[in-house]
C-alpha cells in the first residue's frame, strides 16, 4: 500500500469547512506526502459507497461534514467495515449547541452557504444604492428593483440605504423644476417607481435646519415656502404623469416608509 496519506473530505454541502479543518490539522505535522480529496454535495448512499471503495485501497482517512443523519450513519458503518478512520467534524459541535440552546438542529445541508449568499446580496445592494444615489447615473434606473423620486429632503437616500439592507437594489432621482429628469424614468415600469412627498411646513423646518448646519442664512431660496411649494407642485404633477404610487413621508419614520414600500413591492410581485 502506498505510504502517502489520502484524506477524503466528504460533505453534503460544498465541503470547504471540512477541508479547512483538515489543512489546519495537517499543518501541525511534518506531513510531506499528504493529499486532500474533497467530495462535495454528497446526497446518496451510492456516492458514499463509491468513495469508500476507492479509499479502502489506499492509506486513507475520512473527515466529513454531513448533517443528514441517514447518510452519516451509512458512512460511519462502511468506514468501520473497512477499518478506515472516519472523523465527524460537525456532529459534536451540533450536539453541543443542541444541548446549550435546547433546540433541535435543522439537519439541512448548505445553510451556511445560503447565509453567505444573502450577505453578499446585501453588500451588492448597498454598493448599488451608493453608486446610483441622487441621480448620479441614470443607467442605474433600469437595473434597480425600485426607483425613489422626490424633491430634496424627502428621505430618498436614507430609504435607499435602509432598503439595501433588505437586499433591494434602489436608485433615487432628485426632482428639481429646473433640471430635466432622465429619459430612463419614462422607460421603466411605473410599478418600479415610488414617489416621495412631504408636508411643506415640515419640509421648511428641515431645510432651515440644513442651512444652519451648512452655516448659511435662513433667507436662502432653498428654504423659502414659495420655493418649496413650487417644488412640491412640480414633483406631484410629474408623479401623476408617471402614474406611480406616492408616499407622504412627513410624519413617518424611515422604517415605516420602508415598510409601506416593501408592501407595494410585495403586491407588485
Structural domain boundaries in the chain:
5-109, 117-268
From CA 168, how far away is CA 166, in angstroms rounded? Answer: 6
Please tell me whether 156 is known to bind a ligand. Answer: yes
Query: Tens of pLDDT along 67-89?
Result: 888 999 999 999 999 999 999 99
Rounded to whole angstroms, the Cα distance separating 171 from 175 reads: 13
Q: Is 153 annotated as a binding residue?
A: yes
150 assigned ligand-binding residue? yes
State the pLDDT at residue 112. Answer: 66
**What b/e readout covers 176-206, taking b as 16+ CB neighbours within 10 angstroms?**
eeeeebeebbeebebebbbbbbbeeeebbeb
The reply to whether 5-109 and 117-268 are identical in fold is yes
135 is in an annotated binding site: no
- Whether residue 117 is predicted with pLDDT greater than 90 in this model: the reply is no
- How confident is the model at residue 268, as a pLDDT? 84
**Residue 152 assigned to a binding site:** yes
Q: Average of pLDDT values for 17-41?
A: 89
pLDDT higher than threshold 90 for residue 113: no
Annotated ligand binding at 197? The verdict is: no
Residue 157 marked as a ligand binder = yes
Known binding residue 151? Answer is yes
Interval 202-257: pLDDT, tens: 999 998 888 888 888 766 788 899 999 999 999 999 999 999 999 999 999 999 99
- Tell me the CATH class for 5-109: alpha beta
Domain boundaries 117-268, CATH class:
alpha beta
What's the pLDDT band for 201 if we cut at 50, 70, 90? very high
pLDDT of residue 200: 95
Predicted TM-score (pTM) of this structure: 0.63
Q: In what order do the strands lie in the sheet with 5-11?
A: 34-39, 5-11, 60-65, 85-88
pLDDT at 3: 72
Per the model's pLDDT, the better-predicted residue between 203 and 109 turns out to be 203
Amino acid at each position: 500500500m502506498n505510504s502517502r496519506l489520502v484524506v477524503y473530505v466528504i460533505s453534503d454541502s460544498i465541503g470547504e469547512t471540512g477541508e479547512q479543518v483538515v489543512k489546519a490539522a495537517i499543518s501541525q505535522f511534518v506531513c510531506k506526502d499528504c493529499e486532500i480529496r474533497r467530495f462535495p454535495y454528497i446526497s446518496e448512499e451510492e456516492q458514499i459507497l463509491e468513495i469508500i471503495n476507492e479509499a479502502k485501497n489506499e492509506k486513507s482517512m475520512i473527515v466529513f461534514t454531513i448533517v443528514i443523519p441517514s447518510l452519516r450513519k451509512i458512512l460511519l458503518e462502511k468506514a468501520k467495515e473497512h477499518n478506515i478512520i472516519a472523523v465527524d467534524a460537525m456532529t459534536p459541535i451540533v450536539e453541543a449547541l443542541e444541548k446549550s440552546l435546547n433546540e433541535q438542529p435543522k439537519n439541512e445541508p448548505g445553510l451556511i452557504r445560503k447565509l453567505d449568499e444573502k450577505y453578499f446580496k446585501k453588500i451588492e445592494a448597498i454598493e448599488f444604492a451608493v453608486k446610483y444615489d441622487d441621480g448620479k447615473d441614470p443607467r442605474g434606473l433600469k437595473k434597480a428593483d425600485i426607483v425613489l423620486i422626490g424633491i430634496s429632503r424627502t428621505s430618498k437616500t436614507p430609504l435607499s440605504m435602509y432598503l439595501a439592507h433588505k437586499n433591494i437594489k434602489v436608485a433615487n432621482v432628485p426632482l428639481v423644476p429646473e433640471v430635466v429628469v432622465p429619459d430612463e424614468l419614462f422607460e421603466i415600469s411605473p410599478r418600479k417607481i415610488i414617489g416621495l412627498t412631504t408636508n411643506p411646513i415640515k419640509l421648511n423646518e428641515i431645510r432651515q435646519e440644513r442651512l444652519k448646519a451648512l452655516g448659511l442664512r435662513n433667507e436662502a431660496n432653498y428654504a423659502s415656502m414659495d420655493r418649496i411649494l413650487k417644488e412640491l407642485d412640480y414633483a406631484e404633477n410629474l408623479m401623476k404623469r408617471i402614474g406611480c404610487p406616492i408616499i407622504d413621508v412627513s410624519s413617518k419614520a424611515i422604517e415605516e416608509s420602508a415598510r409601506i414600500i416593501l408592501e407595494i413591492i410585495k403586491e407588485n410581485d
